[in-house]
Amino acid sequence: MNTPQKLIALLSGAALLSVSSLAAQTATTAPVGYVTKTTPTGDDALIGLPLAQATALTSVADSVSDAVVTVSATLVANAYDNTHYVLATSGANAGQWSEVVATAVNSITTADVLLAPTDTFAVIPFWTLATAFPGGEGVGVNTNPNAPTATVLINDPTAVGINLSAGSSYLYFEDGVNDGWYDTNTFAPANDLALVPDTYLTIRNNTASPIVTVTSGAVPVNVVGSTISRQVAGQQDSQLVNPYPAGLTLDGSNLAAAITATTNASSPIDTVLIFDIDGTSGQNISAAATYLYYEDGGANDGWYDANTFAAAGSVEIPAGGAFIVRRAAGSAELAEWNPTPPYSL
């Protein structure tokens, strides 16, 4: 890798063993760690947030009516509304998540139907701009909102098509009075903007110095999944992220189960585009390579480079790394992608 690295996972090897030992001493506390990334001057860094905030609640669904989940715990009304998400940790949708839209003293309502009776789940706070980057740390501070030099760009998971641009842009403004996060275009306050766990952010550095971002949090101990969209009218990109603080190989990613395999290597159907953040400079960067899953029912089934057809099962999506799944047109669907954590705790 080039130095400085834009994403260094410090939870592999000896460091991961260290947090595992810590977890063994305190059974109720999730292992914690941190990731560091550097965005050189004039560059974009496409990054994920592969460490979570501390879990607010773990529980079991006593009963379920559509998206309303009754629990035996006593909750605080409205405590989790629009600030937390439910991650299913068992059941048919294990690994999938949905935003909490209502909290009552003995129930939680999610935006989607997610759980069934006896399913286990965790309630986790969303990262926000203010909690992930307090005081602009890790992105940069702007004193002139009309000419920002350090911004963070957020994807729109509902955008349709391919080669998608970021959906919105934000800056941290500081004048000693109105300090905080704001929308770059409207200057609307954005401290509490929720950052969803299944897509990447873009840190754009137009300052005169590299920007170093250090984020810390809980290491995911359960599967953290995403959905991959397919549209009827044309190809569709899903802007995804490796949700773990360790590299994820294509063979170990479970992506083959969420896309359509290619049976004709010269005519790929669904593809995976991976970014080489360390090896690519500049802004609005393109993916470094494209991969397909080939399947003929024989010994050649597996991942291959879409251009050279070189075997690619060992190609790695870096810790917290950005990538795109590009699906061919077909019946509209949201396929579940549930990658197994690439480590043991």
Amino acid 111: pLDDT: 97
- Which structure tokens are listed for 164? 């998608």
pLDDT at 326 (0 to 100):
98
* Residue that wins the pLDDT comparison between 136 and 20: 136
Q: Are 116 and 247 in contact (CB under 8 A)?
A: no
Distance CA 129, CA 169 (A): 11
* H or E element that contains 202: strand 201-205
Rounded to an integer, the average pLDDT of 251-271 is 96
CB 192 within 8 A of CB 181: no
Among 9-13, 114-118, 120-124, the range scoring the smallest mean pLDDT is 9-13
User: What three-state secondary structure class fits 19?
Assistant: helix
Mean pLDDT score, 183-193: 97
pLDDT of residue 328: 97
Nearest-5° Cα angle at 205, 202 to 206: 135
Q: What is the DSSP letter of 152?
A: E
* Alpha-carbon span 267 to 23, nearest angstrom: 48
Which residues in 206-285 belong to E strands, given as ranges? 211-218, 226-230, 236-241, 248-249, 271-274
Least confident residue range of 27-36, 90-99, 230-239, 277-286: 27-36
Distance CA 307, CA 288 (A): 12
Question: Is residue 26 scored above 80 in pLDDT?
Answer: no
- Assign 13 a pLDDT band (cuts: 50, 70, 90): very low
Q: What is the pLDDT of residue 15?
A: 35
What does the mean pLDDT of the chain come to? Answer: 90
Q: Looking at residue 53, what DSSP letter applies? A: P
pLDDT for 29 equals 63
Angstrom CA distances, 242 to 36, 115, 200, 248, 255, stand at 15, 24, 9, 7, 11
Candidates 339, 66, 82, 89; CA nearest to 226 is 339
pLDDT of residue 276: 86
HSE-CB of 258 using CA atoms within 13 angstroms: 25
SS3 content of the chain, % helix, strand, coil (to 5): 5, 35, 55
pLDDT digits (tens, 9 = 90+) for 37-88: 999 999 999 999 999 999 999 999 999 999 999 999 999 999 999 999 999 9
Question: Average pLDDT in the 155-162 region?
Answer: 95
β-pairing, 201-205 vs 150-154, is antiparallel
Q: What is the pLDDT of residues 284-342, one digit of tens each?
A: 999 999 999 999 999 999 999 999 999 999 999 999 999 999 999 999 999 999 999 99
Q: Is 193 exposed, middle or buried (0-12, 13-18, 19+ CB in 10 A)?
A: buried
Check pLDDT > 60 for residue 34: yes
Task: Answer yes or no: is pLDDT of 3 > 80.
Answer: no
203 in Cβ contact with 6 (< 8 Å): no
Are 52 and 217 in contact by the 8 Å Cβ rule? The answer is yes
pLDDT category at 24 given cuts 50, 70, 90 is very low
Phi, psi at 246, each rounded to 5°: -155, 150
What's this model's pTM, rounded to 2 decimal places? 0.89
Token readout for 57 is: 């609640």
Q: 184 near 202, Cβ under 8 Å? A: no
Q: What's the mean pLDDT in 137-148?
A: 96
pLDDT at 215: 87
pLDDT value, residue 306? 96
Q: How confident is the model at residue 278 (pLDDT cuts 50, 70, 90)?
A: confident
Is residue 288 a contact partner of residue 276, using CB atoms and an 8 Å limit? yes
